[in-house]
Amino acid sequence: MSQKVRIALDAMGGDFGASVVVPGAAISLTRHPDTEFLLFGDSALINKQLAAHPALKAVSRVIHTDVAVSMHDKPSQALRRGRKVSSMWLAIEAVKKGEADVAVSAGNTGALMAMARFCLRTLPGIDRPAIAAIWPTVRGDSVVLDLGATIGGDAEHLKALAVMGSAMASVLFDLERPTVGLLNIGVEEIKGGEEIRTAAELLREMNSPQFEFIGFVEGDGIGKGAADVIVSEGFSGNIALKAAEGTARQINEYLKAAMSRTWRSKIGYLFARDAFRSLRDKMDPNKSNGGVFLGLNGVVVKSHGGTSADGFAYAVDVGYDMVRYDLLNKINQTLNRGGGALGGTPTAREAVS
């Protein structure tokens, strides 16, 4: 494809706004020169940052607004106050209008989901969107979803998550038939609640040519890379994500303390520093930044709010890949080949965090 990938950025989102968004976009541009940007936010702040990045400035258009969604706003408040005027809404709306191919924001997760769902609507057959992200494992990377878009969900919802997650994995990892597992408290068929056991039955009956369902996966199986796609409802998925992030930080602090405790450990670090750098790179959350809102009639990517410019660049990279490799079309193909519409009755509550 020679056509440019057009990326809309919420330049006022996150903890640092344009001071991270603009440099992050500049980093991503070096990796993907076939990109154009729409930057929504305070034009004075954006242009100040763009002055240091002439290559990015040459492929960017700035649309001014001085309205930003607070990281503490409830989704209903953000939707009511920021609709039509906030940098977050305008970035999403650019996707709806066909002015951009993907929107990326580091802003309030609940507000971003509420606005994206209201503005873009869901795909046919999908009742509720999900947040999917790349999860580093000992075997490579996996896609894990839902990481907190909705709380709870019936068997049909879990089935829909499997369909969407497998499409994302096939795009990101170039897999013809990715493996899919359901996160559960055990691998035995009798384990777990009724919803997850029923979902397993539905996925086995589906026997999709687009993915291979391997059954249940326990919590430790995520890090082991037990499947290319791990499916969970949003409550459990978000807890798993936060527990993993906290464990990574804990191990990092343990290593720092151990390496600085005695002169012998300091000397040992000098000999092993290449190995420690490799470990640090593997555990760097910036490299796994960028949660994709799956199930929408458009592509939206959520970056961590407190990320660095390098981290935001990875979120932009994810958005680029989702567009360049035609994620929405892949999801629609999998839905259609899977026997039509998916999704059950709307029993889950939208996340507000």
Q: Which range has the top average pLDDT, 260-269, 289-298, 321-330?
A: 289-298
Q: What angle do CA 13, 19, 21 make, to 5 degrees?
A: 50
DSSP of 150-215: EE---HHHHHHHHHHHHHHHHHHH--SS-EEEEE-S-SSTT-S-HHHHHHHHHHHHH--TT-EEEE
Does 184 have pLDDT greater than 90? yes
Res 342 pLDDT > 60: no
- Which DSSP category does 295 fall into? T
Q: What are phi and psi of 130, to 5 degrees?
A: -140, 155
Tell me which of 11 and 80 has the higher pLDDT.
11
Lowest mean pLDDT segment, chosen from 239-248, 297-306, 319-328: 239-248
**What is the average pLDDT value for the chain, to the nearest integer?**
86
34 token code pair:
């076939």
- Tell me, what's the pLDDT at 340? 41
Quote the pLDDT of residue 26: 98
Distance CA 324, CA 230 (A): 24
In this predicted structure, what is the pLDDT of residue 182?
96
The pTM score is: 0.83
pLDDT digits (tens, 9 = 90+) for 171-183: 888 898 999 999 9
What pLDDT does residue 270 have? 62
Question: CA 313 to CA 311: how far, in whole Å?
Answer: 5
Q: What is the pLDDT of residue 279?
A: 53
Phi, psi of 339, rounded to the nearest 5 degrees: 105, 25
pLDDT given at position 353: 37
Best CA proximity match to 101, nearest among 296, 290, 300, 295: 300
Whether the per-residue pLDDT at 302 is higher than 60: the answer is: yes
For the segment 197-201, the average pLDDT, to the nearest whole number, is 94
CA angle 328, 332, 333 (to 5 degrees): 115
Band of pLDDT at residue 80, cut at 50, 70 and 90: confident
Q: Give pLDDT tens digits for 131-165.
A: 998 888 888 889 999 888 888 888 999 999 999 99
pLDDT at 343 over 50: no
Q: Is the pLDDT of residue 63 over 80?
A: yes
- Find how far residue 181's CA is from the centre of its chain: 19
Between CA 275 and CA 214 the distance in angstroms is 34
Average pLDDT, integer, range 294-319: 93
Phi and psi dihedrals of 227, rounded to 5? -150, 155
- Does the pLDDT value for residue 78 go beyond 50? yes
- Which structure tokens are listed for 286? 């910036």
Report pLDDT for 204. 93
Out of 1-10, 32-41, 98-107, 191-200, pick the least confident: 1-10
Facing residues of 130 across strands? 294
In which band, very low, low, confident or very high, does the pLDDT at 271 lie, cut at 50, 70 and 90?
A: low
> d(Cα 310, Cα 54) in Å, to the nearest integer?
18
> Residue 253 has what pLDDT?
77
> The tokens of 120 are what?
């873009």
- pLDDT at position 278, please? 57
DSSP H stretches of helix in the chain: 18-31, 43-50, 54-58, 75-82, 87-96, 109-120, 155-173, 194-206, 220-224, 234-259, 263-282, 309-324, 327-337
Question: Which domains are assigned to the chain?
Answer: 1-121+296-337 (3.40.718.10), 128-293 (3.40.718.10)
> Residue 266 pLDDT more than 80?
no
